[in-house]
A and B are shown apart, each in its own frame.
Chain A
Amino acid sequence: MTFAQAAEAHLDDVYGYLTWFTSDRFTAEDLTGVTFERALRLWHRFDPDRGSARTWLCQVARTVALDHFRSEKRRTRREQLAAAPEAVDPRFGEGLSAELESALARLTPGEREVVALRVLLDLDAGAAARVLGISSTNCTTRLNRALKKLEEALNVAA
């Protein structure tokens, strides 16, 4: 598989993952571009025997997103001294109810990313755990907690 084929096949997955992770489509677009630039530089390190291209691209995307979160945290800390940060209206995809969008927005980025990997991208527990750098058991526990939180939020809204 060439890089171009991998990029074509998994662009939507990476974009979706980053959208859910960051809860901001515009940021996700930027980060997706950065992710594929970085992935292109690191493509020689990709080993198909150790995992699928989708998993590997998600790992790269996660690193890019974490860098973004760190820089955002520093920026927000600076800017909070001058003015309150601008609120972002999260949109997680077409076909989701407003209640579910709202419930998703209440999850932390860590919870949203595990839901994105396991539910949206339908990765198995092992692959998702590899992306997150944790054990499969821990990954499943995180998913259950996140889904329970979502369920509670939806029930409260109902």
Chain B
Amino acid sequence: MSQRDLVAELRAAHLTAPPGLRERVRLISVEGQPAPRRITWRRALAVAVPVAAAVAATIVFTRPTHQANRDQALERLAPATVHGSAASVPAPTERAAKAFTVPTAPDRAQQVGATLGLRVATAGAVSDAVKRALAITASLGGYPLSVHAQSHGKTAAAMLTLKVPRTHVSEAITRLSALGSIRQEHVDVTDKQAGLNTTDRLIARLQRQLTTLRAQPTTATTTAQIAALVARIEQLQRGEAATRRATHYATIQLSVATPQPTVATHHGHGRLHGVVIALTWLGIGAVYALAIGVPVLLVLAAAWFAVRMVRRRREDALLG
């Protein structure tokens, strides 16, 4: 029998499914209509996109702003300045002129320092601001420690170091802040009371020793010890007095200046500079993606081929 005859005979084979099987398949196809998939990719997308948008909107609109962060930080820092021995309070600009209070404790010896940077429109305004600052300082019982002023064309700047009684430092800063628009403001409060208390106790102890020595018979040794103790006590008392004087006055560094003339900066970049930078970063990203992705793809492809080969061999063994 030739292969053509063989194929013809094979094709002539008649195979019909038995009626029982036909009925069973009919029942499967009629009664068992598949339930539509509850989660399709379109439905998943229809849910996922609004959810992602809502999450993004929540993050964007509920994120605290930079200003709010700074205010919160200031609120957190303020109590520490009262109770701590030393703290620095960066005061918010612009708002300070309206309500500024230096967190000091009047019954404790505290060293207060403040830096205030103001900007005024013209060189003449700088001169006026210096005059008014000196007047404010004098009216509060303070005095200027140093005044430096300079002008060049339409620009001018002045730097003043003012000493103001500590009890009036808040008022001084408030009034000085009103002389121009605030560009910089900084307050330092350092508590010296603990150090003074220690010095007081040390002086008292030394004085008791001095009294004891004076009660003893006078000898060359006791005389030398008394002289040393007296010198030590005087030194401590001078230091203590200097500290109290320093804490009586607050030091305010006031700078007043006109805006610097803006100079147009030209970096020599053309209109396509941004595009070039973007393409550069895209290129860098592509190189990284290739360096990482190609080996991963090769490994995955090798794994896929291996699995396929093993499956084929098993199938052949099963059907062979």
Q: Which residues of A contact B (CB under 8 A)?
A: 3-4, 7-8, 11-12, 15-16, 19, 29, 32-33, 36-37, 40-41, 43-44, 66, 69-70, 73, 92-97, 100, 108-110, 113, 115, 119-120, 122, 133-134, 147-148, 150-151, 154-155, 158
Contact = CB atoms under 8 A, between A and B. Distances in A.
A74 to B, nearest CB: 11
Contacts of B15: 12, 15-16, 19, 92-94, 120
Contacts of A44: 34, 37
User: A interface, by DSSP: helix, strand, loop or mixed?
Assistant: helix
Contact of B320 (A43, A97, A110): A110
27 contacts: A7-B25, A11-B21, A12-B16, A16-B15, A29-B17, A29-B18, A33-B21, A36-B29, A37-B32, A40-B33, A40-B34, A41-B34, A43-B34, A69-B318, A69-B319, A70-B318, A92-B13, A94-B14, A95-B12, A95-B14, A96-B9, A115-B10, A119-B10, A119-B11, A134-B312, A147-B6, A155-B1
Contacts, number: 108
Nearest to A112: B319
Contacts of B315: 66, 110
Contacts of A36: 25, 28-29
Given A3-B29, A32-B17, A94-B13, A66 B22 contact: no
A2 B17 CA distance: 20
User: B interface, by DSSP: helix, strand, loop or mixed?
Assistant: helix
Interface in B1-57: 1-3, 6-7, 9-18, 20-22, 24-26, 28-30, 32-34, 37
